[in-house]
Structure formats: structure tokens, C-alpha cells
Amino acid sequence: MIKRDLFIKTALIFIATICISTTAAYAQTMVDGGRLSGKDRYETSVNISKTGWKDGSDYVIMATGLDYPDALSATPLAKKLNAPILLTAQDKLNPIVDKELERLSPSTVYIIGGEKAVSSGIVNTLKNRGIECIRLSGNDRYETSLKVAEEVGQADKVVIATGTDFADALSIAPWAASNGIPILLTGSKSMTEDIRKYANRDSVTSSYVIGGKKAIEDSVMNKLKNPTRIEGSNRFETNIAVLKKFSGDFNMQDVYIATGLDFPDALSGSALAAMTQSPIILASKEPTKSAKEYIDMNLDKIRNVYILGGEKVLPDNVVKGITPPIFVDISLSLSRGSILSGETAKASANAVMIPKDAEKPTITYASSDESIATVTQDGIVTGVGDGNVKIMATYGGKYKEVNLYVKQNKIIVIDPGHGGSAVGTRTPESGKWEKDLTLATSTIIYNKLVSQGYTVIMTRYDDSFVELSDRTKIANDANADLFLSIHYNSVADSSVGGTEAWYSSVRPLVDPDKKSQVVSDSKQLATSISSGISGLGLKNRGPKDGDLYVTKNTTMPSVLAEVGFISNKAEYDKMMQDEFQEQLADVIVQSIVDFFNSK
């Protein structure tokens, strides 16, 4: 049997081969990726954090999710600290953000902005958990950006963006962060003296001004060292101008798209994009020509496109107008979780796409062990042998697997014996008749075997008497794989006790060529059953060879189990307990399972 870990390794090699061999082809028609989103901006920031910081983080950047100014300069600091940016309400942690903080387990949280942005109550909550809190804030958004820049550290360049809107700063944020360059905010017509001094330090050789003259006038730009303006006719064109300007610095394997009409998703996503030097494209209400052209120009490099935010924020029709269809994931289900050998189930795999109505690729199916189950490329799964197997669906570097249990399709005849009443210390009036006890025991065994996937026939299902010849006929006519008769012993001597199991070496109805094997199998099962029952606290009287009618005149492996002596008060009391009956059925069923598995 192929082991699961070997199967997974083999599958991943197979997937990698597909990716290498088909990348150039499918990159032109489809890319991988998906949405990083939640029900609101706070949950979106959490899901972005979970994606980029699976193993936690020593640091977290926390900013208000209600307004943008304080947080616009935070991305370079997030990159320096390898920290996610989580958004919060002003006075109380959102529960899902609180839970993410617990998962990340940071030692330090940087709070961006003053108490009007993030309250002292939130800070105190974090401090009470042993988390160090460092607040970076100033009298206004411009001074706050300066405080963050000072924390980022020295660089030979600076980025200047307007503090009265968010789009330009977010367009440049991943690039600035990847290169350790701080983002300073300014007014459109004036720059604070502290910002001007910081931007013109001796170590600074040049600066980038993001946005047109309406965002930052020339009079402000001219106060900077070697300034270069990067602009477009609007925020979306400025975004593409930034990406083109620094095209050689971006790793285009991953591309992020966020709405340019609000700040939260792009802000949280900028920290993730900066980790891989990836660009963020800002999208409008309608697809923009320049964004589509930028994607088309880089299609040979792009492998994954991630949408920041849900459909309400960034609808599928906008995404559709910018990128090729995005292959998000594979959904996989089975019509049945377990089947018998020879039976079939239907595997249904589907490619999850953005947009949902995009043309879907053909999924490839595989089985982890074809000796247990096979699967066609139409998804038809056929049980072959007994055991657990993985059915897997793959395409383009993604895979999904589901468990399938294939059960043995064996026919077992259970014969509830029909002996006399309990004798000795108990009478039929105060005790239980053997015929009732054997039926109760057999019914429990029946139910357990059926749940294991076996086909089970009982020689009687009620208080009816069945002749011995009819019992053997039921088993022989069904061409059963196993016959088991359940009995409880009784003798005059109430001190006699123990369990035993009978088989017969005289088998007149068995093909002579098969007789030796049938007898051997019967003895094997009798030995296992008597041993198993003795483990419940009864003396093991062992397997016994005898010409009992039902074991002699059947054509398959056959055992008659005498569970114990109902004439022995101690054994009777024990065997009458529900717990014992369950345990008894378990050991008998396990003996049967082990018997079939050994063949």
C-alpha cells in the first residue's frame, strides 16, 4: 500500500511538473490567487494577517480603521519589523482582531496615531496582557508621519505624499517599504518645517513626490532635494505611473488589487505586498484601461493575483475587466464517504474562480492507493480492496483531497442459538432464556458488522425456532463467507465456567480441494474468538474440534461460540450486563475483521 506521506510527496511533484510545463500557456488565460477579505475592514485585516504571518509575529502595527491619515506612513515600519497591520475601532478592540492578536502572540504593538485614533483603553488592555505598547503620534497627521519615519530609520531617499487623501501614499507604500524608505505627509500648499528639515537631511540624496500639482503644488515640491514627481491624471493613473516607474524593483509573481475609493484594505494589504516586493493596483468602480494594460504587459511574470476585500468593495465585474480569470481553489466532495468493494461513488470537483462565471479548467483526479480504490477522470470512484484511501483533485499547483473508506463486501451469517433456559441458581421464571440472550447478543454483533460494511444475515430475527438443517441451508444458499453461531453453555455443575469456540474438521459438503483451508480458517477464527472473549474476564477453554451439526454441514469457515456458562451465577450476572454485551460484540467483531484482513 502506498503510504499517505509518499502519496502527498508524489502528488506535489506531479503538481510542480504541471506548473512548470504549463505556466507559459495558462498564464495568458488564467492566474492563481483569490480574495483576502472578511465581512468588514477589521476582519479583512485579520485574514491578511493570517495569510502573511501564519506562524505569528513578534511585532504588530495597529491603526484605526475609521480614518486614514495616521496610518498612511505605517507600511515601511511594518516591513522593517516584519509585522502585519491590524485595524481597530477607536475605543475597543474588535473581537476578531483581539483573537488574531492572541494568535500572533506579539511582544510589542506599535500604535500609530494619538488617543483619538486608538484609545488609551486599548493600550491598557494590551499592557495588562504583558504586551509592550509603543505609540507613535504627533499633534497632527504630518507630525505623526515624521515620528513613524524616525522609527523606520535612515535612508538616502524620501517619499512625499499628500496627507489630505490616501490613494497616492498607498500606491507607493509597498515599494517604499521594500526599500526601507519612509513616507512623509504634507499639505498640498505647504509643508511643515519639521518635515522639510527631515526630508533634506544630509544623508538624503533625492525624493519622490507622488501625485499631481493638485495634490502637492510645485512650491512645496521645490523645497525638496532632487525631487521627482510621479503623477497621473487621477489617483488610478498615478497608481499605474508609480508601478511603471519602479517596474524593475517589483516582483511581479504576486499582484494585489484593492479599491482606490477607500483606504482600509489597501493599507492592511500593503504590509503583505511589501513582504514580497509586490505591487498594489488601485481599482475604480469600473475597470480602468491603464490597469488592464499594466496586467497584460506583465502577464508572462504574474502567477498570483490577490483581491483585497470582498465583492461589495471590489466587485467581480471590475476584477474581470482588469485581470485574466483567477483560479482560486478546488472544491471536492464525494457522493458517499464509504463504499463496499465493487461499489462506486462519484467525486465532484469544481474550480473556484473569480469571476464565478469564468470558464473552468478540467480537474485531474487521482487515488492514493489503487489497490483500495480507483478513480476515472470522470470522477467515478470504484472500491477495490479494504481500507482508507485519499481521493485527490489537482490542477495548476492546487489540490484538494477527501477521505474514502472502502469496506469489505463479505457475507456473514449470524446464527442466534436456540438452547434451553438458564438453570442452576436462576430459573426461567427469574432468569433469561438462552434463546433470548443469544438473540440479544447476535443483534448487537449484527449491527456492528453492518456498520463496518459487511452484508449480514441472521438465521432468525425474533423468537422463532429454526431447524438446524435450515440454519445451514441459509448459510450455504447465500454462499456466505463466514458462519457464526452464538450460544451460552449450561451444565448441572454450577461451578463450571469459561468460554470456548467450536469448529469441525469433518466437512462432508466442502470441496475436498478446499477442505483443508476451510478447516484451518475455522480453527483460526475459533482460536481468536475464544481468546478475545476470555479477555473480558472468562476462563479460556480454547478452540474445540467437534462434529456439531451447524459447523459440520456448512461449506464456509464456521464457528460455534459458547460465550460462557449461564448455569454459573457469577458468569451469568456478568454476561447479563449491558456493558459486557457491548464488549463481547466488539471482541467478536474484531476477530472477524482481523480474520478477513489476514486473507
In whole angstroms, what is the distance from residue 278 CA to residue 289 CA? 21
The answer to whether the beta carbons of residues 134 and 111 sit under 8 Å apart is yes
Residue with cell 434451553: 420
Alpha-helical segments (H) within 305-413: 316-320
pTM of the model: 0.69
Q: How far is CA 571 from the centre of its chain?
A: 49
| Cell representation of residue 229 | 514627481
In whole angstroms, what is the distance from residue 211 CA to residue 230 CA? 6
Residue in 286, 274, 360 with CA at minimum distance from that of residue 322? 286
In whole angstroms, what is the distance from residue 301 CA to residue 297 CA? 9
The answer to whether the beta carbons of residues 190 and 212 sit under 8 Å apart is no
| End-to-end CA separation in angstroms for the chain | 15
The answer to whether the beta carbons of residues 113 and 134 sit under 8 Å apart is no
In whole angstroms, what is the distance from residue 239 CA to residue 470 CA? 87
Angle, to 10 degrees, between the axis of helix 434-451 and the axis of helix 578-597? Answer: 50
DSSP state letters, 492-532: S-TT---EEEEE-S--TTS-HHHHHHHHHHHHHHHHHHHHH
What is the three-state SS of 235-275?
HHHHHHHHHHHCHHHCCCCEEEEEECCCCHHHHHHHHHHHH
The conformation of residue 573, written as its DSSP 8-state character, comes to H
| Cell representation of residue 144 | 505623526
At 111 the pLDDT is 97
| Cell representation of residue 236 | 488610478
Residue in 513, 529, 595, 524 with CA at minimum distance from that of residue 562? 529
At 397 the pLDDT is 82
Tens of pLDDT along the chain (599 residues) come to: 334 444 444 444 444 433 333 333 333 478 999 999 999 999 999 999 999 999 999 999 999 999 888 888 999 999 999 999 999 998 999 999 999 999 999 999 999 999 999 999 999 999 999 999 999 999 999 999 999 999 999 899 999 999 999 999 999 999 999 999 999 999 999 999 999 999 999 999 999 999 999 999 999 999 999 999 999 999 999 999 999 999 999 999 999 999 999 999 999 999 999 999 999 999 999 999 999 999 999 999 999 999 999 999 999 999 999 999 999 999 999 998 888 888 899 999 999 999 999 999 999 999 999 999 999 999 999 998 888 899 999 998 889 999 998 877 789 999 999 764 433 333 344 467 888 899 999 999 999 999 887 889 999 999 888 999 999 999 999 989 999 999 999 888 999 999 999 999 999 999 999 999 999 999 999 999 999 999 999 999 999 999 999 999 999 999 999 999 999 999 999 999 999 999 999 999 999 989 987 87
One-letter identity of residue 294: Y
Residue in 398, 414, 498, 423 with CA at minimum distance from that of residue 457? 414
pLDDT in tens, 205-255: 999 999 999 999 999 999 999 999 999 999 999 999 999 999 999 999 999
Q: What phi and psi, each to the nearest 5 degrees, are found at residue 218?
A: -60, -35
| Cell representation of residue 365 | 483526479
Residue with cell 511603471: 244
The conformation of residue 73, written as its DSSP 8-state character, comes to G
The Cα-based distances of 510 to 47, 479, 540, 544 in angstroms read 67, 12, 29, 20
One-letter identity of residue 158: V
| Cell representation of residue 599 | 486473507
At 431 the pLDDT is 62
- Residue 191's region, left for phi above 0, alpha for psi from -120 to 50, else beta, is beta
In whole angstroms, what is the distance from residue 416 CA to residue 290 CA? 81
One-letter identity of residue 362: T
Angle, to 10 degrees, between the axis of helix 512-534 and the axis of helix 578-597? Answer: 140
Residue in 270, 268, 288, 287 with CA at minimum distance from that of residue 279? 270
One-letter identity of residue 61: I
The answer to whether the beta carbons of residues 87 and 264 sit under 8 Å apart is yes
Alpha-helical segments (H) within 61-217: 75-81, 95-104, 120-128, 141-152, 167-178, 193-199
Q: List the 227-230 sheet strands across, edge first.
A: 183-186, 157-162, 206-210, 227-230
The answer to whether the beta carbons of residues 335 and 404 sit under 8 Å apart is no
At 419 the pLDDT is 65
